[in-house]
Structure 1
């Protein structure tokens, strides 16, 4: 059985099961999250896409599908706390690519996105009023550091 046949078979099974769920109406609210998770795992295990690049959409779909599934189970009001996951999702996908390719640039971008989402998670979960000030000071420090390094490079 060719890889394309296996993908078609697996995708057909997933769609059939999701259709049965919709018809039975046992868990119709879980349809879209499960669909996104299924697509994510198809990318993850190489049944859709080739190379390390497939891991970015895999990571994004798995994280977003998980967030939507949590919201389907516990209520979409939880999105007020889970919105930083949308920043985390591409960072997670890029982190997976880093583990395959070991590219330092991919790791840097991934860590920036994951760190930003972590900061926003902390600020959101604990409703820290000073988080904006702390984040602003952090951004100023990073910006000044980049400027100083740029000036030093020009003078050399």
Structure 2
């Protein structure tokens, strides 16, 4: 019975939003971005999913829905600057799950994604030319470290 109630709630929200979009003559693009935000909120408040794991899709849907809504308002040409939000989205969801479960793995994973997205935002906004060289060096060093560990048999 509770599952049928959730499905009814979801369809009711979707149809209501679609009706508002049609009545206000908004672009259908607004509908999809708002739908993603609402689905994210349904995960946030536990309507769709239980436990700490629900926060991962909630965070992803909220960030990507907000990004698409912002692009609908300010223009999709800004996506060339806003693309690091796609890296940030799962990091945000993982961080929310960490706040509930307090697992080091969740914190580590979320921080890697959030820091990477911050670096990508910085290099994208300020057109940092040295970033390509820096990331190339970092990738080579990480690759060599992984190769050495795997040859020694210490891969984690």
Shorter-chain TM band: 0.7 to 0.9
How many angstroms apart in 2 are the aligned matches of 1:12 and 1:138?
Answer: 47
Query: Which blocks of at least 5 consecutive residues in structure 2 are unaligned?
Result: none
Preserved contact between residue 3 and residue 47 of structure 1 (Cα < 8 Å): no
State yes or no: 1:117 paired with 2:121: no
1:46 paired residue number: 46
- The alignment yields a C-alpha RMSD, in angstroms, of 2.4
In structure 2, how many angstroms separate the alpha carbons of the residues matched to 1:144 and 1:20?
A: 56
Which segments of 5 or more consecutive residues in structure 1 lack a partner in the other structure? Answer: none
1:80-128 CA-partner distances (Å, limit 9, x unpaired): 0111111111111111111111110111111111111111111111111
Alignment of structure 1 residues 34-113 onto 2, 5 Å: 34-113=34-113
**Which residue of structure 2 aligns with residue 127 of structure 1?**
127
Please say if residues 43 and 55 of structure 1, whose CA atoms lie closer than 8 Å, have aligned partners that are also in contact: yes
DSSP 3-state at the match of 1:14? helix
CA contact (8 A) 1:87 1:117 kept: yes
Q: Distance in 2 between matches of 1:102 and 1:152?
A: 32
**Equivalent-residue separation in structure 1 for 2:47 and 2:63 (angstroms):** 18
TM-superposed deviation, 1:13: 3.0
Report Cα offsets for 1:52-91 as digits up to 9, x if no partner: 1111111111110000000001111011011111111111
More deviation, 109-118/25-34: 25-34
**How far apart are 1:152 and its partner, in Å?**
10
User: Structure 1 residue 20 and structure 2 residue 22: aligned?
Assistant: no
